[in-house]
A and B are shown apart, each in its own frame.
Chain A
Amino acid sequence: MAAKTIDKALLDRLPVSFSSYCLDQMKDWDLLFPAEQNYFERLFGLLGRSPGEAVDRLFAPLREIERQMGVNEKTFPRGQFTLEQVDFLNRSPQYTEWRGGITKVFSQLDPLLDAEVARHNHARLVIALAPSQLPADPDRMWTRFPDRGKRVALDLPDRAESFLPLLLTGQEHGAPSIAELFAAGKKGGPYASWIVEAGAGLSKIGTGAAPVVKYSYQALDGYRQRLMKEVQSVVDSQEVPGPRQLSARLKQMKILASEGDLARDPILAEFARAILLSGNGTLLINNTFVEWATVQAVRRARPSVTVVGFGIRNKIKPFSSLLIFADQNASNPIPSQMDTLGSYVDLEVFWQYIWQEFEKYPEYRNNTAYLFAGDGMEQMLVIAPQDFPLLTAEGPFKLPAVFENLKEWLAV
């Protein structure tokens, strides 16, 4: 269902701020993930099937708020939802009411849409990993939601470098990862399994035999450096008068084939561009990239298996906060230093944020196992439905046993 296929009579029934937002999101239909396309199909399918009077009743309060705000064809050309429209809404005295109106609409639509998802749902898995350099004991980890899950003891391997391969493949080398196994299975597909990481190590684990979406801050270094230079150049040359025009220019800065395999898939290429240019710190801070890419992946692609690997960010050098689009290694010859303590503080917040993000969507509620682990750490936090095998068994567990439990959970 591309935007042009939506019934015009239905569009006319909808408040223009609502329809414009949806149409804007749908305008690059071919660059949407299947999950996004499916969502819009279900949303407009539901509205299209509903009696006209019911649709009118649902949107009547929002229409009234729009009237008070002065929303019209001039302020909101249909299908256009740019910074101009965002500004218009933000600056309106009725902005709070408008947000409330939108929330109310979705509070009535979401249960119906969610029920459809729940009927076709399956078990999912999220593994979120802390780097080995993090200076914290397990009892100081995941402190923002300690009561949500169970801490499970692990029997660590003799070789520290075996931790991640054993957890993700069950073997030290040469075996497919849990992400690959799911991607190759009957519920898999090109966007079902994701690895998002600060470094590049997780992406190399496995056999490469199945399509797994891989976003690595480190591997995208060339693209990031080019983006920073180009953005700085645009700003310096004062070719663009303000943020609105800059936003349009940024949309043209696509990843090149030489900058990564992501360039081969237009959807993934566009996702990379959007992550690096619309999440403020994603160009500069590895863990911000990881968090934002994960959050956006959940919102947009709804992966079934997600492996998230955070890293240690570098200390910010003097004046770097001024140079948003500059490589701090080039601007200051003092060697970079790792900020292990700062990274620990950052991650304590991010564990919570990514878990919350998954739990917002019906695909994940009540059927997702979350493993919060640290490379080389003798304990992990497991949040999962009661029937997740690791919750009932007694530890400590060897990592291959954990892997077998994950396979059983995903039925791969």
Chain B
Amino acid sequence: MISLSKRRFVQLAGLSIANRIVPRWLRAQEPRAQEHSAGRSGNKVIVVTFGGGVRYSETFAPDGLRNIPRLVALRPEGHFFKSCTNSGVLSHFNSTASIVTGNWQRVDDFGFQPPASSTIFECYRKQAGAGPLDAWAVATNKSFSSMGSSSDRALGPNFGANVVLPKQLLLEAVQDVVKKGTAGGVANRDDVLARLEGVLAEGYEGVGWTIFKAGRKLDQQVRDTLVRGLVEYINGPEAPTSGDELTFFITREIMREFAPRLMLVNFWDMDVAHWGSYSLYLNAITKTDRLVGMLWDEIRANSAYAGKTTMLVLPELGRDGDQNTANGFLNHRSGDPSCRNTWLLAMGAGVPKGETDRAVYHVDVAATAAGLLGVKPGEITGVPMRELLL
């Protein structure tokens, strides 16, 4: 019989009771939960951003709910952080770089410098010994080509993520079709597809992609995977219209073929707000909502992801408020609350249903992802979202 001291008995009894009466999220405040955890075995993490920026008022504010029916329906199944704040530089590159590094980034706004501190991709790949096909960033803006790795000399590109920018590929192809003036222009799907494949065959670098050389056989596999995404996109039931749909199809093919454990998916169409059309901005939000829903459907249907994937969805940044001096929703640099105050929806493996008012920050995403993957982030500002690391 195991003998227990009275003191030890009380300790264990207390812990046992605490497990039943204290909410799970509160227990996560205990020091142990803040420490580096081993992560969940095989857990995968997909970070999805509403790139380009979206305001609360067009999403989870009462009048905005109509624009995001899929997220509204998913919210009860996940954990909703009502306040996720971007306290950093309100440019696209720095905002997303802050998300993937856990530190507020203040590098060149146009992507001429990589993030200044280690990305979650590098930390994961180095510590987990993960191969080059196990971390991907599918993004849009060409400046994001340097998003996959940092300037940290101990890490850097050798441990970074593959970065694919489907919209840049599309842009190249569409411009080429327009220049050639072929009959039907960009309305001719066959012409666009042929040119897409042509651009892809000419090499990734021209469109700002970073794909790690993984041997001839694997390189061909990557190429075939991407082409499949293109074919699905061009020949899909709906007329392809924008870059984000291609971003989705490429993401899905990568998931099906390589099942990476860590992905960043950056949708972007809503940046059309810069054009000054509120209706186009709303349409883009609804499209992104639909694509995020489809991504979640894929996660649940794909055996490599179902039941072991945490998806974190958040706006990269907000946009200026209607009262703002610049020009309202068209821009996102004012620093007013409408620019900074966003939300985060966590879905999937181990995510408790519920919501919290507790403020979290964009830099907390990398810390949380690190916890979920069981790796140690570098020196970072962000802290793990305890609600998700139980």
Q: Are A349 and B106 CB-contacts (below 8 A) given A90-B91, A331-B186?
A: no
Q: Are A87 and B335 CB-contacts (below 8 A) given A279-B276, A318-B240?
A: no
Residues of B within 8 A of A356 (CB): 322-323
Q: Are A321 and B110 CB-contacts (below 8 A) given A90-B91, A331-B185?
A: no
Partner of B170 from A91, A242, A288, A322 at Cβ < 8 Å: A322
Q: Tell me the minimal C-beta distance from B279 to chain A in angstroms.
A: 4
Q: Tell me the minimal C-beta distance from A37 to chain B in angstroms.
A: 22
B243 within 8 A of A: yes
Residue picked from B107, B109, B243, B276, most chain A C-beta under 10 Å: B276
Partner of B241 from A292, A319, A350 at Cβ < 8 Å: A319
Whether the Cβ atoms of A292 and B279 lie closer than 8 Å is no
Whether the Cβ atoms of B269 and A353 lie closer than 8 Å is no
Chain B: which residue is nearest A282 at the CB level?
Answer: B276
Partner of B178 from A96, A321, A326, A334 at Cβ < 8 Å: A326
0/1 string, B261-284, CB within 8 A of A gives 1 = 000000001001011111110110
Complex Cα distance, B187 from A317, in Å, reads 9
Residues of A within 8 A of B104 (CB): 93
Residues of B within 8 A of A242 (CB): 110, 112
A346 within 8 A of B: yes
Complex Cα distance, B329 from A331, in Å, reads 28
Residues of B within 8 A of A96 (CB): 335
A51 within 8 A of B: no
0/1 string, B129-145, CB within 8 A of A gives 1 = 00000000000000000
Complex Cα distance, B175 from A236, in Å, reads 10
Stretch at the interface among A110-118, A221-229, A337-345: A337-345
B171 within 8 A of A: yes
Q: Are A353 and B108 CB-contacts (below 8 A) given A95-B89, A288-B275?
A: no
Whether the Cβ atoms of B282 and A345 lie closer than 8 Å is yes
Q: Are A332 and B187 CB-contacts (below 8 A) given A316-B280, A322-B243?
A: yes
Whether the Cβ atoms of B89 and A280 lie closer than 8 Å is no
Q: Tell me the minimal C-beta distance from A297 to chain B in angstroms.
A: 14
Q: Tell me the minimal C-beta distance from A92 to chain B in angstroms.
A: 7
0/1 string, A95-124, CB within 8 A of B gives 1 = 110010000000000000000000000000
- Kindly identify, within residues 45 to 81 of chain B, every residue whose CB is under 8 Å from any CB belonging to chain A: none
Residues of A within 8 A of B252 (CB): none
Whether the Cβ atoms of A346 and B184 lie closer than 8 Å is no
Partner of B335 from A99, A345, A350 at Cβ < 8 Å: A99
Whether the Cβ atoms of A284 and B275 lie closer than 8 Å is yes
0/1 string, B156-173, CB within 8 A of A gives 1 = 000000000001001100
Report whether over half of chain A's contact residues are helix, strand or loop; otherwise say mixed.
helix
Residues of B within 8 A of A316 (CB): 280
Whether the Cβ atoms of B269 and A332 lie closer than 8 Å is no
Whether the Cβ atoms of A285 and B277 lie closer than 8 Å is yes
Complex Cα distance, B243 from A353, in Å, reads 29
Q: Are A91 and B89 CB-contacts (below 8 A) given A99-B335, A323-B178?
A: yes
Q: Are A90 and B90 CB-contacts (below 8 A) given A288-B275, A288-B276, A342-B280?
A: yes
Partner of B106 from A92, A292, A352 at Cβ < 8 Å: A92
Partner of A90 from B109, B283, B329 at Cβ < 8 Å: B109
Q: Tell me the minimal C-beta distance from B51 to chain A in angstroms.
A: 14
Whether the Cβ atoms of A346 and B277 lie closer than 8 Å is yes
Partner of A333 from B174, B185, B278 at Cβ < 8 Å: B185
B325 within 8 A of A: yes
Whether the Cβ atoms of B174 and A323 lie closer than 8 Å is yes
Whether the Cβ atoms of B274 and A281 lie closer than 8 Å is yes
Q: Tell me the minimal C-beta distance from B232 to chain A in angstroms.
A: 16
Complex Cα distance, B99 from A406, in Å, reads 55
Chain A: which residue is nearest B283 at the CB level?
Answer: A342
Whether the Cβ atoms of B276 and A281 lie closer than 8 Å is yes
Please tell me the number of chain B residues within 8 Å of chain A, measured between CB atoms.
48
B327 within 8 A of A: yes
Whether the Cβ atoms of B269 and A349 lie closer than 8 Å is no
Complex Cα distance, B185 from A194, in Å, reads 39
Q: Are A319 and B170 CB-contacts (below 8 A) given A242-B110, A353-B322?
A: yes
Residues of B within 8 A of A288 (CB): 275-277
Q: Tell me the minimal C-beta distance from A284 to chain B in angstroms.
A: 6
Partner of B330 from A91, A280, A321, A360 at Cβ < 8 Å: A280
Q: Tell me the minimal C-beta distance from B341 to chain A in angstroms.
A: 14
A291 within 8 A of B: yes
Q: Tell me the minimal C-beta distance from A46 to chain B in angstroms.
A: 21
Whether the Cβ atoms of A90 and B276 lie closer than 8 Å is no
Residues of A within 8 A of B243 (CB): 321-322
A177 within 8 A of B: no
Residues of A within 8 A of B175 (CB): 236, 323, 326
Q: Are A352 and B112 CB-contacts (below 8 A) given A322-B170, A342-B277, A345-B278?
A: no
B201 within 8 A of A: no
B225 within 8 A of A: no
Chain B: which residue is nearest A343 at the CB level?
Answer: B279
Whether the Cβ atoms of A321 and B242 lie closer than 8 Å is yes
Partner of B242 from A92, A319, A343, A348 at Cβ < 8 Å: A319
Complex Cα distance, B323 from A326, in Å, reads 32
Q: Are A349 and B242 CB-contacts (below 8 A) given A281-B275, A323-B175, A342-B279?
A: no
Complex Cα distance, B107 from A317, in Å, reads 35
Residues of B within 8 A of A343 (CB): 279
Complex Cα distance, B331 from A280, in Å, reads 10
Whether the Cβ atoms of A287 and B241 lie closer than 8 Å is no
Whether the Cβ atoms of B171 and A322 lie closer than 8 Å is yes
B386 within 8 A of A: no
Complex Cα distance, B269 from A287, in Å, reads 20
A151 within 8 A of B: no
B256 within 8 A of A: no
B328 within 8 A of A: yes
0/1 string, B238-250, CB within 8 A of A gives 1 = 0111110000000
A214 within 8 A of B: no
- Kindly identify, within residues 276 to 308 of chain B, every residue whose CB is under 8 Å from any CB belonging to chain A: 276-280, 282-283
- Not counting A322-B242, A322-B243, A323-B171, a sample of 14 additional A-B residue pairs whose C-beta atoms are within 8 angstroms of each other reads A90-B109, A91-B94, A91-B107, A92-B106, A288-B275, A316-B280, A318-B239, A319-B174, A322-B167, A331-B185, A331-B186, A345-B278, A346-B277, A349-B322
**CB within 8 Å of A: which residues of B?**
89-91, 94, 104, 106-110, 112, 167, 170-171, 174-175, 178, 183-187, 192, 239-243, 269, 272, 274-280, 282-283, 322-323, 325, 327-330, 333, 335
6 residue pairs bridging A and B, Cβ less than 8 Å apart: A281-B275, A287-B276, A322-B242, A348-B278, A356-B323, A360-B325
> 4 shortest A-B CB distances, which residue pairs?
A288-B276, A281-B275, A342-B279, A345-B279
**CB within 8 Å of B: which residues of A?**
87, 90-93, 95-96, 99, 236, 242-243, 279-282, 284-285, 287-288, 291-292, 295, 313, 316-319, 321-323, 326, 330-334, 339, 341-343, 345-346, 348-350, 352-353, 356, 360
